[in-house]
Amino acid sequence: MNEQLYQHLVALIKEHAIHVTVKEEQIHLAIMYTIAGRSYNRIVPCMILYVNRPFDIYHKGHEWKIPVHELQRSIKMLSKEDQAFRTRLNHQKLDRFDVKRIIQLATYDVVRLSILDNSLPYLFGTIR
């Protein structure tokens, strides 16, 4: 994943996500995984999502660490399935709903972002 696309994802999450923000844009963490009964350690870059407002079962301060290779995997899957997504990806014009789908696929449906539509008025006024 190139740096420009990654920064675009981070900016969209920070701008449109209601309960979650990006705490660490990119930090390297040791991940342990098992293949054929053998354990391996690998240091991988991760995005850390931080709950800044409590919702559902998650309290303020809860964190999810999402490896960048999982983000890449979900982008690859979406680009194979959806021609419109692939076009937006090639032109670097992903929208907030694309980011929601990417995060949902990368976390195996654990994290579902609540997205705010900044073009719609609030119940008690408009966004300025």
Which tens digits make up the pLDDT trace of 3-41? 999 999 999 999 888 899 998 777 899 988 888 989 999
Q: What average pLDDT does the chain have?
A: 87
Question: DSSP states of 15-45 as a string?
Answer: HHBSSEEEEEEEEEEEEEEEETTEEEEEEEE
Mean pLDDT to the nearest integer, 68-90 = 95
**What is the reported pLDDT for 103?**
95
More confident residue, 76 or 116: 76
**What is the reported pLDDT for 105?**
96
Q: What is the pTM of this model?
A: 0.83
**d(Cα 113, Cα 104) in Å, to the nearest integer?**
8
Question: DSSP states of the chain as a string?
Answer: --HHHHHHHHHHHHHHBSSEEEEEEEEEEEEEEEETTEEEEEEEEEEEEEESS-BTTBPTT-EEEEEHHHHHHHHHHHHHH-HHHHHHHHTT---HHHHHHHHHHHTTTS----B--TTSPBTTB---
Neighbours of 78 (CB within 10 A): 17
- Residue in the block written with tokens 């692939």: 86
Whether the pLDDT of residue 50 is over 90: the answer is yes
**What is the reported pLDDT for 122?**
54
Confidence of residue 128 (pLDDT cuts 50, 70, 90): very low
**What is the reported pLDDT for 58?**
87
**d(Cα 118, Cα 128) in Å, to the nearest integer?**
9
Confidence of residue 119 (pLDDT cuts 50, 70, 90): low
